[in-house]
Amino acid sequence: MKSQKNLESKVAELVQRLPPMPGNISRLLLAANDPRQDDGALLALARQDPGLCADLLHLANTFCSRRGGHDETLEEAVSSVGMQPLVQLIGVWYAKDVITTEFAPLKHLNDYFRHSQEISVGCRVLSEVAGMPERRREVFSVAGLIHDMGRLVIMLAADRTTAPLMGTPWNEMEAIVHEERQVLGMDHCKVGMQICKKWNFSAFLQQGVLRHHCPLIDNDFNLLGATIFIAHFVTFSDFTGQMLSSLLPGEILDRLNLEPADFEQARLEYLSRVPKSSDS
């Protein structure tokens, strides 16, 4: 019990030690989470910082392609991606730099980033198969990038610097958080949510990170958490869509309105974008 308390204290200290967002990015994230703010007000904030403008344009051109060429103004970037996902994306981009610096002692940090990028693509593909609008697809892609931040903090606090950071096997997704709570007194989903809250990420992203191992609790269903949950199976499985549909929780698939053909489409689309590596 004492060791659990010590670990909880170390995790809380690490979360608090993570630096806040730079001033302009923090203001932009706070404004984006205020329902009273419209896109015009957010654009006005973004225009105050030349570096932030450049980063937003860079991200828009990286994650979306305009038929007529590249996005060259903030208005075009917002038109391509949507203001809310674009703001959250710039926050995630900065968070990646913070994580790289703060968690450099972890020997498998590159595995973490690769896993996060793969789940991001998986979330994007599933949102496309589900017919979600472009704005929502980008938000789901962002969620995939940040979903496992809590795992890094717990591993660093526990001095487990040699343990690999890979995806969770399909049959252990829900069990692993219960095991973490029993052994460590906490789970990486909750820690990740706390980091998202510290960095002013939207409540939608916070809840998605919190629920990505347990998207269905009694009758309470979290759509973003369920999509991240399913993305793990799409990205790390050799099974066909039919096999996956028979193995995964039927109630979650029903809530997502996914059928075997949808799974197969998502799996093949993912493999076309991220070819399977020999060590995954």
CATH match for 2-20+84-273 among 3.40.220.10, 1.10.3210.10, 3.30.565.10, 3.40.50.300: 1.10.3210.10
pLDDT score recorded for residue 140: 93
Residues 6+ apart with CB under 8 A from 11: 153, 154, 157, 186, 191
Q: Residue 156's CB: how many other CB atoms inside 10 A?
A: 18
pLDDT score recorded for residue 278: 45
Domain boundaries, the chain: 2-20+84-273
pLDDT score recorded for residue 165: 47
pLDDT score recorded for residue 153: 84
pLDDT score recorded for residue 209: 96
pLDDT score recorded for residue 173: 67
pLDDT score recorded for residue 128: 93
**Helix axes of 134-146 and 74-81: crossing angle, nearest 10 degrees:** 90
The Cα-based distances of 271 to 2, 237, 277 in angstroms read 46, 11, 10
Per-residue pLDDT tens digits of the chain, which is 280 residues long: 556 777 778 888 888 878 777 788 888 888 888 888 888 888 888 888 887 888 888 877 876 655 656 788 888 888 878 888 888 888 888 888 888 887 777 777 888 888 899 999 999 999 999 999 888 888 999 999 999 999 888 877 776 544 444 445 555 666 777 777 777 777 899 999 999 998 889 999 999 999 998 898 888 999 999 999 999 888 876 777 787 777 777 888 888 888 888 988 998 999 998 866 544 4
Amino acid identity for residue 53 in this structure:
C
Block residue for tokens 């007194």:
185
The span from the CA of 236 to the CA of 169, in Å, is 8
- Which tokens go with 60? 């828009």
- Which tokens go with 56? 């937003």
pLDDT score recorded for residue 194: 92
